[in-house]
Amino acid sequence: MVQIGQALFTMYRCAGCHVEGSQFPPLAGKYGKRVNIEGGDPVPFDDEYIRESIYVPNAKIAAGYRAVMPAYKDRITEDEVKQMILYIRSLK
């Protein structure tokens, strides 16, 4: 399942943006931690946060980043999101 999630992460071009050193928030090592968001209290970087960030990315924007990610609500299925979450969990 992790490999399928990785393939989807690449196919939807997430890998091109969410890497260390880019202008977008890196995802490696974040799962299970709290992340600061613009205009709000820190939130857990968990399945719910990842799902919401994919479907409605402007709902909770990571502190220090701009709202530029497109919404994938009508483009990515729930099963695909679950597989990508498994992959994101595996990133160290």
What average pLDDT does range 54-81 have in this prediction?
Answer: 94
pTM flag (> 0.85) = yes
DSSP structure string for 31-75: TTSEE-BTTS--EE-SHHHHHHHHHSTTSSPBTT--S-PPP-TTT
Looking up residue 64, the CATH number of its domain turns out to be 1.10.760.10
Mean pLDDT of the chain: 94
d(CA 1, CA 48): 18
d(CA 43, CA 49): 8
Side chain identity at residue 58, one-letter code: N
Given pLDDT bands bounded at 50, 70 and 90, which one contains residue 22?
Answer: confident
Range of the domain at 19: 2-90
Angle at 78 between CA 76 and CA 83, to 5 degrees: 90
Q: How many domains does the chain have?
A: 1
